[in-house]
Structure 1
Amino acid sequence: MNLVETLEMLNKVVTENSELIKNEESTKQFLILPLLRGLGYDTYSPKEVTPEFTADFHKKNEKVDYAITLNGEPKIFLEAKSINQKINKSAPQLSRYFSTFPSVRLGILTNGIEYHFFTDLNNTNIMDSSPFFVFNIIDYNDEDFNNLIKFSKNLYDYEGIKSLAESLMYTHSFKSVIKEIFENPSDDFIRFVIKERFKFKVTQQFINTSRPLVQKCIQESLSEIISERFDLSLNHHELQEVSVTTEVSVVTEKKMYYSQEEINTLGTFEEFESIKVVLPNVESYKNLIKIPDSEYSVEKGNPLSDFFVSSVLVQGNSIVGYLIGHYYNNRQDTTLYTVKSNEIEKFIKENPVVSELGFINARLATRLNKNTNEIKYFLKSSIPNLSFRDIPNLTSKVDDIDSFFNKLK
């Protein structure tokens, strides 16, 4: 059962049988453990999901409800509450667990409905007092779902979680400031607005007089922006309809440097295990990259290579894996490799020629982990202003990435 199906099932359980889930133990059995399985964790293996995990806490006989172990080390602690117990923003008990194990960088506090995710952004190995992400299994949007996927077993990576936590923290803070300004603009904000257009001295009396007008202008400006965006959306939709009836190619802003005809020549595709397999046209990539043969490189994408990204596998909006192709026998035959998105480095080590030649249609880029000085590899489209998702048929959606990869073994 994939994550989408798991959440649908849990919604049904809560809707139809919540009155039968009366305590912490039944909350674990009917809500928490199924979600962990939906995220790919083996709840039947005590080596991976350990209940009642014991550690040397300040209080004797205090245990973690669940410890999730990856690569031989506990990485996630989960504290469970009853479905009827309200989740507070702080979690002192979970915080004590957290500080005991340096390898644990993620804490989860849940009552089976709400999942509060904590990490240590402020001080290493000291859990933050507030969660950076809250997921509600009966009230979530697409963005929430795509964030939840990042906590799944096959995608779990602390650096990625840390980046998500920082992004959500800043987003929440910025939104709260902007909301406060819109609802009750401060003196400094009003002074800034006035000085942007007028040169006279701004007195406190003038600020007080201008406050109602500034508030009115904020509301009207927001309305105009929304109205303009709505009109643009309608115009874009109308243009798309015209393009269908008149067979005129509408070029979007992202593809402004390429015609639709050029993009369509990038490759042919066929079906493989319900996934679209794209076989790139080398000459088309050479024409669009527009650099001399001598300058092709791993970082720029190398049409002279025999390796290519055949399909980008996505779950929700997240890239979770790739099909890597390899031409051989004078490009008469093709071999395909399956690679999870967090195993690109492993694939490159097993195929060192890739790090020398790169891919026909992808740039081999790197990120440096400043804490460990480790280099992590990731893939990008080799053509500027054209993402993998813009290349016809290159993206394939998968509901359960683990099942897909296991099926191909």
Structure 2
Amino acid sequence: MNLKETIDMLNKVIVESSELIKNEESTKQFLILPFLKGLGYDTYSPMEVTPEFTADFHKKNEKVDYAISLNGEPKIFIEAKPIHTSLVKNAPQLSRYFSTFPTVKVGVLTNGIDYHFFTDLNDANIMDSKPFFTFNLTNYSDEDFEHLIKFSKNLYDETMIKALAESLIYFQSFKSVIKEIFESPNDDFIKFVIKERFKFKVTQQFINTSRPLIQKSIQEAVSEMIAEKFNIEAPTSEKMLEEDVAIADKKVYYTEEQIHSLTRSEPFDGITITFPNADAYMSLLKLTPDEYTVEKGNPLSDFFISSVVTQGNNIVGYLVGQYINNKEDVTLYTVKSNEIAKFLDENPIVKETGFINARLNSRLNKKNNETTYYLRSCLHNLSFREIPNLISKEATKFFEVEM
């Protein structure tokens, strides 16, 4: 069984048996050990995968849950938590293990579903406080999978792992800086933009005067680039401002428990589909039934998005579910992204009621005067990608038949 098959098998275990995996030991047995085996490590050899590995720790009787050794030397330490434990972004206990063995360059904190990978980029033999890579068994991209393969037995190389860690850390850092500049450009960035086009001396007063213009320019430039790429109408400054104000007025953040309450997964006709919990959406939308609309989402609807099918970073389609027979049965529809309008024409009731977990948006292309439709999560500040079990990367599973 290769790594991809192992992950698919573990996803099935998580969907069907997660409630039976109640503690750390069962998490190790049913999730973590099979995962390590999928990476090519011999879980039946205590010389290669050593449970309860003892090291010279400051605290007596403190042990590593697993030590993975290559060529007789421990290389990876793993700290296990029960499946239903939320992992934090730091791991002080694992950090103590890490600093004891100079040969260990990777520390892994896991609950059997989420895997957080740490190394020592900042100081040699001192584990960084934040992971450089995280992998979720139930929600990962093709790029995540390619990164994960580098930790397999046959490919494991410390130099390659360090290069991966550096690239991911730098990428996240660069992205956060760019995001900060876009959201709130600092004086140096404003001065740089001005000097690119004008030669006069830039004063602090002029920087302060230019700040709102620079912010507006950034928003419109990004909007125009997106519009050109996807051949859609770019929103005007006024419309963007109205939308920003509307979203700011409704800015809401959700706890992990609230997010996980949104869905449940069940086997259906040979595949696993995700059902929305209407009550959870009713609670988080904070609307009365009279206010539910196609644009805002409608927990009273019979239609819901069961899976959002992606290829890379692009959404290519949806698996749409419809409750029938007083919610005793479900009908499934596969809908490609560019065929949402066709689906609405064939099912006009959806135009009237909307989806439980999605809101229907449209945009007008001024070039051909055509209206195109697209779907978004009905919850502000929460995308489809953040809702558990909703993303599927196996497009062929749903679109193998002619539509």
TM-score, normalized by length of structure 2? 0.56
Deviation at 1:206? 2.4
The residue correspondences of 1:180-191 to structure 2 (distance < 5 A) are 180-191=180-191
The residue correspondences of 1:17-36 to structure 2 (distance < 5 A) are 17-36=17-36
Partner of 2:222: 222
Give the SS at the match of 1:122. coil
Deviation at 1:77? 0.5
Give the SS at the match of 1:152. coil
Deviation at 1:230? 4.2
Partner of 1:162: 162
The 1-side partners of 2:204 and 2:125 are apart by 47
Partner of 1:199: 199
Give the SS at the match of 1:14. helix
The 2-side partners of 1:219 and 1:13 are apart by 45
TM-score, normalized by length of structure 1? 0.55
Partner of 1:46: 46
Deviation at 1:139? 1.2
Partner of 1:371: none
> More displaced, 220-229 or 51-60?
220-229
- State whether structure 2 residue 62 is matched by structure 1 residue 62: yes
Give the letter aligned to residue 5 of structure 1: E
Deviations 1:230-277 (A, max 9, x none): 46xxxxxxxxxxxxxxxxxxxxxxxxxxxxxxxxxxxxxxxxxxxxxx
Partner of 2:145: 145
Give the SS at the match of 1:78. strand
Deviations 1:376-406 (A, max 9, x none): xxxxxxxxxxxxxxxxxxxxxxxxxxxxxxx
Larger radius of gyration: 1
Give the SS at the match of 1:212. helix
Give the SS at the match of 1:58. coil
The residue correspondences of 1:276-295 to structure 2 (distance < 5 A) are none
Partner of 1:177: 177
The residue correspondences of 1:285-364 to structure 2 (distance < 5 A) are none
Partner of 1:320: none
The 2-side partners of 1:78 and 1:14 are apart by 20
The 2-side partners of 1:136 and 1:212 are apart by 40
> More displaced, 150-159 or 207-216?
207-216
Give the SS at the match of 1:9. helix
The 1-side partners of 2:98 and 2:33 are apart by 20
Identical columns (%): 78
- State whether structure 2 residue 9 is matched by structure 1 residue 9: yes
Work out the number of aligned pairs and report it. Answer: 232
Give the letter aligned to residue 180 of structure 2: E
Deviations 1:334-360 (A, max 9, x none): xxxxxxxxxxxxxxxxxxxxxxxxxxx
Give the letter aligned to residue 49 of structure 1: V
Give the letter aligned to residue 110 of structure 1: T
The residue correspondences of 1:364-375 to structure 2 (distance < 5 A) are none
Give the SS at the match of 1:161. helix
Deviations 1:285-316 (A, max 9, x none): xxxxxxxxxxxxxxxxxxxxxxxxxxxxxxxx
Partner of 1:212: 212
Flag structure 2 segments of 5+ consecutive residues without an equivalent.
232-311, 313-403
Give the SS at the match of 1:140. coil
